[in-house]
Amino acid sequence: MSESRLKLDVTRMMADAIGKGYGVSSGEIEQIWPRVMNLLQGLEARRKSGELPFYTLHENEDMVSRIEEYAEKVRGRFKNLVLIGIGGSALGPIALADALLPLNWNHLSDEERKAPRFFVPDNPDPEYLGAVMEVCPPEDTLYNIVTKSGGTAETMAAYLAVMTPLKEALPEEWREHLVFTTDPSKGNLRKIARNEGITAFSIPSGVGGRFSVMTSVGLLPAALLGINIRDLLAGAAEQSEKVFNREFETNPSAAYAALQYLAHTQRGARMHVMMPYANSLYRVADWFRQLWAESLGKRMNLQGEVVNTGPTPIAALGATDQHSQVQLYVEGPHDKTFTFVVPRNFRRKVHCGKHHSDIESVDYLAGLDVGVLLRAEAEATQRALTAAHRPNMTFVLEEIAPDTIGELLYLLEAATLVAGGLYEVNPLDQPGVEAGKVATYALLGRSGYEDHRAEIEKERQRPSKIVQ
Ligand code: PA5
């Protein structure tokens, strides 16, 4: 068996390492494992029946070649790619771009980049959207509008906002500056694509927003930005071989889910911090925050009982947050687990110069590659947490590359399905998000939402309690 380029070290989740009563015991794993096996059998059967298409997205050759064809067709034509979407329709593309492009991407010259600059105004904040519009003239810009439902207010508002300058600047060619990613048949965006003849990619039915990073949601912008999407999918394929493995030691996604669940339900660790030690991976933690929160945070369980369950995921960044959060993490309440994500090799080396040989307490850093410092800090934080009896585990990536990122994202998605089974909730719905969407439509006077509007008006009659 070849060495895996992504490994999960769970040593410090265990009672042996962090102390009895704090870590998960081997007995607890043995006890829960038959339940995990049962869940995996069910998931495997649902995958085979085509009910869970996210498991096999990496096999969708049609989707990949269509994306590559389009990316090839528009290569060199646009200076900017503006992706308009929110939640699952934005976080995956952002995570991929941040992880796999240089962090100074938008500041590089066109010659250095050889692909467009990338902007994702994923909030209807006029100062943010307006600022992006200001630096992206429509003539040089491709707009990728991404919405599965085709109706999300934030996305459609930003789409309508960019359409005005786009049509004004390019009354004939504006359609060529748009590419949609949406449901294959339903929703307003699909309707607009049909009516106007705009190129549109599909998000396969049955793949929800937060599981869509390996569909055209993530792959199209990635390909347009020059990321090797085949390597990304190869990483996902690698992990897909493991997700139904029967042993704890050979199934990192199930092991991850089981440990997080046990730490939460048996040790009170209801907050799950993901802390990469690499700036380029911070948005992976942000993507995971949505995946874990929206999938597991539920009012009802599968039996229809009110349970109000779910862990709270938190994104942090090493070493930056060592000087912000780690005091709390080491000495605060025993209510958290920690997932570190650490690359074994960084893609750059930056060395400290030798400038103060007379001051030993500065000079020890001279000649040092700062990546060595960052990795040492990751280990130091792991040790500090371990000494303080805090459960922590580490994803070790051989390097940050399309295959390891594809593998990590797939693993976390698969883990989320297992965790959904353990918490006994449906990890694929998001009734709480839908409720917020409905209230927004009602507030903005969308037709069909009049009853909701009336309820809101009634609510507004109640006196407010203001402090000033
Ligand atoms: O994961 C999800 O389902 C959500 O976060 C959605 O992605 C988000 O609400 C945006 O929805 P849509 O893609 O329909 O615009």
CATH code for the domain in which residue 159 is found: 3.40.50.10490
Amino acid at 348: R
Give the mean model confidence (pLDDT) for residues 218-241. 98
Ligand 1 within 6 A of CB of 208: yes
User: Who's near 257: CB < 8 A, 6+ residues apart?
Assistant: 36, 415, 416, 418, 419, 422
Q: How confident is the model at residue 3 (pLDDT cuts 50, 70, 90)?
A: confident
pLDDT of residue 435: 82
The bridge status of strand 80-84 relative to strand 6-9 is unpaired
Residues 111 and 49: their CA atoms lie apart, in Å, by: 47
Q: Report yes or no on 466 lying in a domain.
A: no
Domain count, the chain: 2
Q: Which residue, 165, 200, 230, sits at the end of a domain?
A: 230
Closest to 110 in 3D by CA, of 161, 151, 75: 75
Helix or strand (DSSP H, E) at 153? helix 153-169
Q: Report yes or no on 170 lying in a domain.
A: yes
Pair (210, 302) in one structural domain: no
Q: Report yes or no on 465 lying in a domain.
A: no
pLDDT of residue 459: 86
Q: How far is the CA of 89 from the centre of ligand 1 (A)?
A: 6
Residues 239 and 408: their CA atoms lie apart, in Å, by: 8
pLDDT of residue 163: 98
Pair (329, 262) in one structural domain: yes
Q: Report yes or no on 464 lying in a domain.
A: no
pLDDT of residue 440: 87
pLDDT tens-digit readout, 307-355: 999 999 999 999 999 999 999 999 999 999 999 999 999 999 999 999 9
Q: How far is the CA of 316 from the centre of ligand 1 (A)?
A: 23
- Domain that includes residue 182, residue range: 54-230
Q: Are 420 and 297 within 8 A, CB to CB? A: no
Average pLDDT over the chain reads: 96
Amino acid at 289: R
Q: Report yes or no on 455 lying in a domain.
A: no
Pair (221, 170) in one structural domain: yes
- 104: its two tokens: 């100074």
Pair (354, 261) in one structural domain: yes
SS3 62: helix
Determine the atom of ligand 1 nearest the C-alpha atom of 86.
10
Pair (152, 207) in one structural domain: yes
Q: Which residue, 198, 215, 230, sits at the end of a domain?
A: 230
CA distances from 439 to 154, 155, 398 (A): 13, 16, 45
Query: What CA dihedral angle connects 154, 225, 375 and 326, to 10 degrees?
Result: -10
Give the HSE-up count for residue 432: Cα atoms under 13 Å, Cβ half-sphere: 15
Pair (126, 82) in one structural domain: yes
Q: How far is the CA of 405 from the centre of ligand 1 (A)?
A: 22
Percent of all residues in the chain with a pLDDT value above 90, rounded to a whole number: 91
Question: Helix and strand tally (H, E) in the chain?
Answer: 18, 12
Pair (186, 85) in one structural domain: yes
Give the mean model confidence (pLDDT) for residues 163-179. 98
Which residues are paired to 200 by β-bridges? Answer: 180
pLDDT of residue 437: 81
Pair (69, 212) in one structural domain: yes
Pair (206, 306) in one structural domain: no
Residues 290 and 310: their CA atoms lie apart, in Å, by: 12
Residues 377 and 362: their CA atoms lie apart, in Å, by: 17
Q: Report yes or no on 24 lying in a domain.
A: yes
pLDDT of residue 436: 83
Give the mean model confidence (pLDDT) for residues 114-129. 98
User: Who's near 279: CB < 8 A, 6+ residues apart?
Assistant: 98, 103, 317
Which of 433, 434, 440 for a ligand 1 pocket mutation test, highest count of atoms within 8 Å of Cβ?
Answer: 433
Q: Report yes or no on 429 lying in a domain.
A: no
Q: Which residue, 206, 230, 254, sits at the end of a domain?
A: 230
Pair (22, 146) in one structural domain: no
Pair (36, 64) in one structural domain: no
Q: Are 360 and 236 within 8 A, CB to CB? A: no
Q: Are 313 and 293 within 8 A, CB to CB? A: yes
Pair (239, 225) in one structural domain: no
Ligand 1 within 6 A of CB of 182: no
Q: How confident is the model at residue 1 (pLDDT cuts 50, 70, 90)?
A: low
- 66: its two tokens: 């269509």
Q: Report yes or no on 99 lying in a domain.
A: yes
